[in-house]
Chain A
Amino acid sequence: MAKLHVSTTINGEPVEFLCSPQQSMLEVLRNTLGLTGTKEGCGTGDCGACSITLDGRLVCSCLMLAAEAEGREIGTIEGMAQGDRLHPLQRKFLELAALQCGICTPGVLVAAKALLDRNPDPTETEVRYWLAGNLCRCTGYDKIVRAVLETAAEMREEAAR
């Protein structure tokens, strides 16, 4: 079957690719575009390791057809740091040891950033429910939740300055 030509924006850069109608956004990110920071844990939308943003909204890239990216804006973990400057969430995850094996980390960070972009002052419960779609088997989530809450507090202070 003929390939589809898709023009999209990924991490602020214009990108074009060819894909089959069957291909997921995740497959194209990883196998066609070499953006392997986005991980596949299940392929059925249950683990959140493949989390990306689509026009700013958090979605699982394994359950999005690559063809749907046409004219949209995609954000992945590779676009989170500004040059060599880590996003405050990335820095805080390192400071607080909020990752162990690291396989869920890109998805968790993308999800956490999507939360803080909307809600700069989330409660612990709000963080826990927001991240309920991102499985982590290593940490028990404790340090992840603390890192998100502490980052939010620091970013609020920064903004107030």
Chain B
Amino acid sequence: MNVVSNKWIGQRTIRPDGADKVTGRAAYAADATMPGMIWGKILRSPHPHARIRSIDTSKAEALPGVKAVVTAKDIVDFPVDTPVPLGIQDMRWMCRNVMAREKALFHGHPVAAVAATTEEIAAEACRLIEVDYEVLPWVIEIEDAIRPDAPILHDFLRFEGRPSNIAGKLEHRLGDVEAGFAEADVVIERSFATRPVHQGYIEPHACLVSVAPDGKTTIWSSSQGQFMVRAMTSLLTGIPQSDIRAIPAEIGGGFGGKTIIYLEPVAVMLSKKSGRPVKMVMTREEVMRATGPTSASRSTVKIGARRDGRIVAAQGTFYLQAGALPGSPIRGAAGCAFAPYDIPNVHSVGYDVVSNRSKVAAYRAPGAPIGAYAVECVLDELAEALGMDPLELRLKNAARQGTKAAHGPVYPRIGFAETIEAALAHPHYKAPLGKRQGRGVACGFWFNAGGESSAQVNVTEDGNVVVTTGHPDIGGSRASIANITAELLGIDYRRVSVLIGDTATIGYSNLTGGSRVLFASATVVTQSVEKVITQLRERAAKIWGIDPDAVKWEDGQALPAGDNAGRFPPLTLKQLAAKASETGGPIGAGVQLNTTGAEGGFATHICDVEVDPELGIVRVVRYTAFQDAGRAIHPGYVEGQMQGGVAQGIGWALSEEYVYDRQGRVDNASFLDYRMPVCSDLPMIDTVIIEVPNPKHPQGVRGVGEVPIVPPLAAISNAVYNALGRRFYSLPMSPPKVLATLEGAAA
């Protein structure tokens, strides 16, 4: 680490975008308007699986006020036999997800779209579009989709030589699991199931698009990556990237669900055809029916240990629902499941299963909570069978520097054991429990990520600083960038403005996701600031007529150093900025990099629950999360990520689930029937930030956002077991399910 002082790094500064957000000024995608703007609406499939024989849009087009109609014919086709990967997506699937092509693959799948002078006319026109469907048999659940006689969604998908709904398999192997299990004194094998849950961002997908007569295209939208929006829209519409300017609006939550696009290419084609700017805003029902929740899962995990608690072998099989098109997060499930532990023999397999529900999208540590749920519940049983404290079992087997993980890496310095030790020492772990209360623990891992980032740091003429990066700020990253910039330059953080550039004003930057934003953007911002400091030293040297090497930068000013020390009065940033023109021109620098060295993040959670055994209601009454953040640049937003992830995990464990009706439709496509935790459902969520700096990052940053959602599913399950003496192997632990299990036990 080259930052040793701590004037701003680690401080709870006020975020640069804060005042706008508390006064209602912050502009989200749905807040944008343009002169002449019209409204787009999407017609969606009423069937979960149907061949589209024909679409007649003539009546819709004839409706007064309708300006354009779009179908799959207007979207670029990517043939199914040629992969076109783009980030975590494949354009073969994207073009079919944005607008149904050969078939409608889920209830709610877009089939056509209309732009009209009002939202009401657009909706009315959608109802006038006549689609001739050949309704096909459909399948939703994993266990049904992998049966030999299941309806096949895609005849081009083959698994083990046969048409199948299994779209892919991913396997990690380390050592020899058979030999490992042979060495084990205790082996526990259990199967688990989880339901699909939605990211639940409060802001529905929205965009405003303008295609000018010269083809110049501007997109304001809510996404986790303006460059992803530009690239995908370009591929799906045929408009070159240089003609598309994607402007990131403030984003009202994403959690992975906005690393993909739904509306933008459709709005672009509507705008192109109508010659008018087009605005599209999804309803909540559309969000719930047609945007990616995460996968349902079926897992089996087997772990063997010696009597002394040393784990010798582990095996996991994870089936994940992909939705209508391939691409479930099997890498997260199979890869993260055993990653916190030093296990010599591991075999971990993930299967990607398609079925007739909306295509999944990334959701916070995609796949990892599913893997950890199974593993951490089995570890709880293992600890019990061994007569060991569950945290001591984990500590004994904790991955450390030098551990070879089954998914590939050999870990550098990591802070996993520190999180367990902190949990063991925390008063929460020893606090007495009340009646009908139980305590559970679990751990979790997320890969974190580096990747492409760009930054530009400019010194203003009046001696302040503007930093531009290319990542939509989803949870306060601008505040952290301000802290780092102020620290490096030795100036007050309030003199630093941090902005998110659009695709025309900043270099390519990969998605806001994977817990990569601060890791990557801090790297490019740091290097940019270092270049700026070099320029500032050169300018001072020029003014003083000495060698730039004889100038040092300290506390926001240039000082003559070495033999020249004290020869000239210091030059401040303001003074140097004022003389910028005469000393060589504007002062500023940018860096564009494919960053590497993001190292894994680890967490340990303790959860207390209270159960009402008459009703089956489980309530989380105390929760403490311990996490290695590497370095907490802005502790407030690190804690916020931890608390938010835990709250989402609590929802996943206790109340959230997609329910399908007998017609293959989502039966609870509203915030009324799909319940995310509300304020009165939760306790305070305590956090303990552990800082074991990432040796591969200038400030020691590791990713923070994903890990906190990984342990809660198991921590809560284990706590419920501790309270009731009954184990649950499927989520959510809803009141009727808990009650039925209790009554089953009593009977």
The answer to whether A and B touch directly, with their CB atoms under 8 angstroms apart, is yes
In whole angstroms, what is the CA distance A64 to B346 when docked?
58
Instruction: Please state if B671 and A90 are interface contacts (CB–CB under 8 Å).
Output: no
Least Cβ–Cβ distance between A114 and chain B, in angstroms? 14
The answer, yes or no, to whether A42 is at the interface (CB within 8 Å) is: yes
Interface size (A, Cβ < 8 Å)? Answer: 56
A109 to B25: give the CA distance in the assembly, Å: 14
Contacts of B648 in A (CB 8 A): 137, 140
Question: Nearest residue in B to A102 (C-beta to C-beta)?
Answer: B21
Query: Assuming the A-B contacts A128-B680, A134-B679, are A41 and B202 also in contact, with contact meaning beta carbons closer than 8 angstroms in the complex?
Result: yes
Shortest distance from the beta carbon of B251 to any chain A beta carbon, whole Å: 6
A15 within 8 Å of B (CB atoms): no
Given contacts A40-B30, A49-B202, A94-B14, are A139 and B644 in contact (CB under 8 A)? yes
Chain B residues with CB under 8 A of A44: 284, 670-672
**A141 near B682: Cβ-Cβ < 8 Å:** yes
Residues of B within 8 A of A94 (CB): 14-15, 18-19, 22
Main secondary structure of the interface of B (DSSP, over half): loop
Residue among A77, A90, A139 with the most chain B CB within 10 A? A139
The residue in B21, B30, B281 that gathers the most chain A C-beta atoms within 10 A of its C-beta is: B21
Give residues of chain A (114-133) contacting chain B, Cβ–Cβ below 8 Å: 124-125, 127-129, 131-133
User: Given the complex of chains A and B, what is the CA–CA distance between A44 and B669 in angstroms?
Assistant: 12
Number of interface residues of B (CB under 8 A): 58
Count CB-based A-B contacts (< 8 Å).
186
Main SS of the interface on chain A?
loop
Among B28, B203, B283, B685, max chain A CB count under 10 A is at B203
Minimum CB–CB distance from B316 to chain A (whole Å) comes to 29
Judge if A142 is at the interface, Cβ distance under 8 Å.
yes
List residues 11-60 of chain B with CB under 8 A from any CB of chain A: 12, 14-15, 17-19, 21-28, 30-31
A155 within 8 Å of B (CB atoms): no
CB pair A47 B203 closer than 8 Å: no
Question: Counting CB contacts under 8 A, is B646 at the interface?
Answer: yes
Interface 0/1 of B662-690, CB less than 8 Å to A: 00000000111000111110101100000
Chain B contacts of A133 at CB under 8 A?
A: 678
Q: Which residue of chain A has its CB nearest to the CB of B202?
A: A41
Task: Report yes or no: A97 in contact with B671, Cβ–Cβ below 8 A.
Answer: no
Contacts A49-B202, A97-B637, A137-B644 given; indicate if A86 touches B671 (C-beta within 8 A).
no
Q: Quick one: CB contact mask for A98-112 with B, threshold 8 Å, 1 for yes? A: 011111111001000
A6 at the interface (CB under 8 A from B): no
Shortest beta-carbon distance, A51 to chain B, in Å? 12
Q: Which of B14, B21, B679 contacts A132 (CB 8 A)?
A: B679
CA of A109 to CA of B19, assembled, Å: 13
- Indicate whether A144 reaches chain B with its CB closer than 8 angstroms: yes
Q: A100-B474, A102-B17, A109-B22 are in contact. List 19 more A-B contacts (CB 8 A).
A: A35-B24, A41-B203, A42-B284, A42-B671, A46-B672, A78-B23, A86-B22, A97-B15, A97-B636, A101-B201, A103-B201, A103-B252, A131-B678, A132-B680, A135-B202, A135-B678, A137-B676, A138-B475, A140-B640
